[in-house]
Amino acid sequence: DIQMTQSPSFVSASVGDRVTITCRASQGIGAWLAWYQQKTGEAPKVLISGASSLQSGVPSRFSGSGSGTDFSLTITSLQPDDFATYYCLQTKNFPYTFGQGTTLELK
Amino acid sequence: QVQLQESGPGLVKPSQTLSLTCTISGESISDGRYHWSWIRQHPEKGLEWIGYIYFNDNTYKNPSLESRLSISLDTSRNQFYLTLTSVTAADTAVYYCARVTTGYKHFDRWGPGLTVTVSS
């Protein structure tokens, strides 16, 4: 299985901050990576697919980059609605695997 | 706008079989553009892909569950199903059904999730 390792696991930030979350794959996955946001009690919501394609309706302060084994999700100018848990997902190989999650907390 | 909704028991006894249904509205399950998937999330933990099914009955399952897992569909009901045998407390989780897009595959539509507890 491809292991997906996110860092950091927790991050404290303030409204208006810029935050970057990274995801590393245990082997190359090209651009077969998506990013999700999950709020407590809700299903995950896709933000980015194909490593860098912003989904329709997702604010432009979210951006994704990377290919191969190293990827990042950047949120510029954090808004109150952004405090949540973020996951990466690889769909290059079966079984599909998620990162362990990064919780973004209000400082 | 496609919507997915999970249904099934909230409580299952150990060693029994868990059966869940995902009902799709706003789109035909026979639409060849998509796969249909199950995902679960253990309490306070991360996400685990269970498997998916295509309209022609082709299935892809997580090897960690494959020996206990069945995924099927009914095009006339626009539903797909998960059956997991010999459940244990480790199968306690929120179970989601989701749509898998083509291209760079990802889960783009999710049901709200169903909490399943395995306990006697």
pLDDT of residue B19: 98
Q: What is the pLDDT of residues B63-92, one digit of tens each?
A: 999 999 999 999 999 999 999 999 999 999
Closest Cα in chain B, distance from residue A55 (Å):
9
User: Of B51, B73, B68, nearest to B60 (Cα)?
Assistant: B51
Mean pLDDT of A82-99: 97
pLDDT of residue B88: 97
Mean pLDDT of B8-25: 98
How many Cβ pairs closer than 8 A exist between chain A and B?
54
Residue A69: how many CA atoms within 13 Å on its side-chain side? 7
Bridge-based pairing of strands B114-118 and B11-12 is parallel
A contacts of B48 (beta carbons < 8 Å): 98
Q: Is B102's pLDDT higher than 90?
A: no
Whose tokens are 């432009």? That residue is A60
User: Is B54 touching A (CB cutoff 8 A)?
Assistant: no
pLDDT of residue B32: 86
User: Is A103 touching B (CB cutoff 8 A)?
Assistant: no
Mean pLDDT of A5-13: 97
pLDDT of residue B44: 79
Helix (H, G, I), strand (E, B) or coil at B56: coil
Helix (H, G, I), strand (E, B) or coil at A21: strand
